[in-house]
Amino acid sequence: MKPFYELPIGSRRFLLAVCALGAASVVPFEAPWLQMAGMLVAGLAVWATHAAFHRHCRRRRQLHQMNDWLVSCLALAIDARDPATTGHKQRVCYYATEVARRLGLAGKDADAVRIAAILHDIGKLGIPDSILLKPDKLSPKEYALARRHVEIGNAILQPVPFEGPVVSIIRSHHERWDGRGYPVGLSGEQIPLGARIVAVVDVFDALTSDRPYRRALSRETAFDFLRERAGSHFDPRVVQALLEVEPHREDQCGSAWQIGALLPEVEESSPPGAQFAYREIARVNEELYALWEVSHGVPCILSLGNVLALSLEKAQSLVGFTTGVIFLRSDDAPEVRAARVVGRYEDRLAGMAIRLGEGSSGLAALNGIVLVNVSPSQDLGRRAFPGETLDLGAALVVPLRAGECILGTISLYHTDYNHFTEVHVRRLTIIAEHAALAIENAREYERTRLLALTDPLTGLPSARYLGCYLEQALLARTGPLAILLLDCDGLREINERFGYAEGNRALRMVARLVQMELRERDLQVRYGGDAFVLVLPGVAAAAARRLAERLRQVVDAATCLTDIGERYSIGVSIGLAMYPEDGGDPRALLAAAGARMCEDKAARRPARVGVAA
């Protein structure tokens, strides 16, 4: 029988392989041969052990990379759900990592704190938007629902095989040192140290950040808040560690608050598609946050100019353009006009008009359609650049629609041909929706403001407008300025005898007669009741007195016929004040004019009322 030997390859604990040696003849193996075979097998055992170890290490690295990638994606998902707190998790991660290091945590425990700090709000993915994004204080019922985010986060992360106590930290980060927290009511050392760390830094960053319902507190105020609650809400050791860490934050972290600065990058060895997925989630998160800014920022602005400026600013950041124009239509005008231009050719395009149905913007404004990658020359060629070669290659035009009304368009122009994509169209459409609402609100606000500054009876500017006007007029004046205060004589008698409707008619007649005697640059204001104020820039005292006398004569000569056939007339008493002789501010000038008007009224006879026709 031929000799046959089997030699094990491996260590004392693990068998990796078996080496079988067979002889070609019946001659048995000699001792040197067996010794050499043993050495060979020992070498193979060392090599196989090292190879297995390296494979194990590579798998562990891949698992770590997958773990970090998963954490990054989950963090981005949280940001996408609640963009108002973007950056909160990253700052909490930095604080928690530094506090954990200061308290002696290392290895898996420190890594668990880092991951838990980023994912501590993962449970908010299960909280309704009506609660999560509510700008006001939550009701008791809503607060109870919001507290469930701890349990939801525990359920989401329970199946994930984290190496450290990540899940227990997240589940317990709302427990209190005195046992009055939630969800279980743990106290003192029963609470995992990582959870105690996250609890402190989470509250600190929330206090020092802006929220929809309040402004950020100063660091000193936040520190005082933590000190007062150390030993009741928070672990005193953790509070002290944070106080020692925080002053060095700027040196250690600077402005790098993005997830990529706090988590390892996804390497080429990551699973197929991981890099693309990470970048895509980051891009979507960035887009969602920018669009959230649009939806929360643009509709709240009441100045039309600011609305247009912010809308184009967001269009530049989300879409990009060489030239951006917002065309607006005024009431039933047959054209749209450039109300705001940003970028190249700003001076040449300002105020440019396009008739409805003409060009890309006129067509979009008429029919409410979106036009993508059309030629910019349709809008700009013969209107702004006749006979010139236009160095713009593509246009994206989106209508500004408020309900059934089309207010105009947002028109973006780019040097590259076919520059605009479906993503650009989607983003600009969202911007246009919010911009249209804000434009309508701004216009309504302006109409309301004008109504507040206009007297509804006479159509003249009101007393509120007079105050603003006089302040500016006095600041700009270098020459004389006259103020006449007119008060109607006998208006009360007219109201009592013929009714208030006839009294209003008399006031309108006086306003019309006075306005006919004024220059275009003069201002007449309904001052209230039966009084009017005239502001006469550049008029000397003698000329103002002559005008006052002429106004008395004109009003005295006019008569009104009532519905019952009775005729009456109304007079005016007038007081004059001169700037700067009678005062340097509106209050002093109006007081002087009022005093002289009273003197004039005392010297005049009462108005003739009820004179027979």
Predicted pLDDT at 425: 92
Predicted pLDDT at 228: 92
Q: Could you write out the three-class secondary structure of 501-549?
A: HHHHHHHHHHHHHHHHCCCCCCEEEEEECCEEEEEEECCCHHHHHHHHH
Region 123-138 average pLDDT: 73
Measure CA 221 to chain center: 26
Portion of the chain with pLDDT greater than 70, in percent:
72
Q: Is the pLDDT of residue 26 over 50?
A: no
Contact 340, 304 (CB under 8 A): no
Rounded mean pLDDT of the chain? Answer: 79
Predicted pLDDT at 43: 57
Region 5-23 average pLDDT: 56
Tell me the two tokens of residue 3: 């000799």
Q: Is the pLDDT of residue 525 over 90?
A: yes
Per the listing, tokens 């920022």 go with 297
The better pLDDT of the pair 80, 435 is held by: 435
Predicted pLDDT at 256: 37
Q: Model confidence at 607, in pLDDT bands (50, 70, 90)?
A: very low
Contact 336, 328 (CB under 8 A): yes
The better pLDDT of the pair 477, 42 is held by: 477
Q: Is the pLDDT of residue 397 over 90?
A: yes
Tell me the two tokens of residue 493: 């008698």
334 preceded by cis ω (within 30°)? no
Specify the CATH number of the domain 296-448: 3.30.450.40
> Looking at domain 463-603, which of 3.30.230.10, 3.30.1330.10, 3.30.1490.20, 3.30.70.270 is its CATH number?
3.30.70.270
Predicted pLDDT at 285: 52
Q: How many CB atoms lie within 10 A of CB 563?
A: 9
* 17 phi and psi angles, rounded to 5 deg: -165, 175
Could you read off the pLDDT of 276-305 as tens digits, one per residue? 554 555 555 555 555 555 544 454 455 788
Predicted pLDDT at 177: 94
Q: Model confidence at 144, in pLDDT bands (50, 70, 90)?
A: confident
Per the listing, tokens 């702004």 go with 384
Portion of the chain with pLDDT greater than 90, in percent:
33
CA–CA dist 182, 232 (Å, integer): 14
- Fold (topology level) of 82-258: Hypothetical protein af1432 (1.10.3210)
Q: Is the pLDDT of residue 171 over 80?
A: yes
Report the candidate in 381, 372, 373, 383 with the shortest Cα–Cα distance to residue 336.
Answer: 383
Measure CA 170 to chain center: 30
Predicted pLDDT at 611: 45
Q: Is the pLDDT of residue 563 over 90?
A: no
The better pLDDT of the pair 190, 295 is held by: 190
Q: Is the pLDDT of residue 270 over 50?
A: no
Taking the alpha carbons of 461, 464, 465, 467 in that order, is the dihedral positive or negative? positive
* Bridge partners of residue 371, in order along the sequence: 397
The better pLDDT of the pair 387, 394 is held by: 394
Scored b (16 or more CB within 10 A) or e, 439-466 reads bbbbbeeeeeeeeebbbeebebbbeebb
Scored b (16 or more CB within 10 A) or e, 74-112 reads bbbebbbbbbbbbebbbbbbbbbbbbbebbebeeebbbb
Predicted pLDDT at 534: 96
CA–CA dist 495, 500 (Å, integer): 5
The better pLDDT of the pair 610, 211 is held by: 211
Indicate the domain borders of the chain.
4-60, 82-258, 296-448, 463-603
Tell me the two tokens of residue 318: 């989300």
Could you read off the pLDDT of 94-122 as tens digits, one per residue? 899 999 999 999 888 888 998 888 888 88
Q: Is the pLDDT of residue 30 over 50?
A: yes
According to DSSP, the β-strands at 394-402 and 405-414 are antiparallel
Q: Is the pLDDT of residue 252 over 50?
A: no
Report the candidate in 604, 509, 602 with the shortest Cα–Cα distance to residue 555.
Answer: 509
Q: Is the pLDDT of residue 402 over 60?
A: yes
Contact 381, 355 (CB under 8 A): no
Q: Model confidence at 148, in pLDDT bands (50, 70, 90)?
A: confident
DSSP state of 308: H
Could you read off the pLDDT of 295-337 as tens digits, one per residue? 444 544 557 888 888 889 889 988 999 999 999 998 788 999 9
Residue-by-residue DSSP string for 137-161: PPPHHHHHHHTTHHHHHHHHHTTS-
